[in-house]
Amino acid sequence: MTIVKSPKELANLIDHTNLSNIARKSDIKHLINQAKHYDFYSVVVAPYYIEYGKNLLKSSPIKLCTVVGFPLGFVTQKVKEKEAKIAIKKGVDEIDMVINISAVKSKDTETIIKEIEKLRSVARNKVLKVIIEAELLEKEEIINVCKIANDAEADFIKTSTGLSGLSPQIANINLIKKTVPNMKIKASGGIKNYKIAKQLIAAGADRIGTSSGDLIMEEYENG
């Protein structure tokens, strides 16, 4: 069980995120200013804002992350591969890829294996997080995709895109931790306060993906 002992420790677990399709440059600038204020681990922005975000983070230790195959995951492997290559060329540090949930539901293991292995190859010097939409999967599906991601040497299992309308379940964090104990876990989806974040961190989440990082920090600091 991980217990957060300081604001700095908490901030270092947060991927401060804005993936809204109506986000403006001013919104991304605000996101990054908040990240700098609290010293969050990273910011997550849409591919459109990679270069803009990179410029705003110049000389900052805060990592820049973007998404691939977002949000539904059912684009082809070649599309995901191209998206990742472009993102890396533009300067991202981390990639959160959405797996093909339709392939998971269809028991098309080969497609899942190939796309994660290809993204791992493309992003070999970057942190790769595999978004599995855990709350939409059955127990055995979670186990299978986690094992595939682990075998492909991805860095993280990420629970959700945050757009499924479902919050991360402690039971799923526990299941992921039990299935692939050497992989890190990013919990995301509807994490809007410190109480929820604290529970997920205690259950084993190594990162918290949230658009409410500032509110979580304020709640923690105010006791």
Residues tagged active-site:
96, 158, 186
Cα separation, 149 vs 184, in Å, equals 11
Strands, E assignment, 99-172: 127-131, 156-158
Bond preceding residue 181 cis, omega within 30 of 0: no
CB 159 within 8 A of CB 170: no
CB 192 within 8 A of CB 160: no
CB 113 within 8 A of CB 152: yes
Cα separation, 199 vs 138, in Å, equals 22
CB 137 within 8 A of CB 164: no
Token output for 115 = 């796309």
Cross-strand bridge partners of residue 18: 45
CA 165 to chain centre: 16
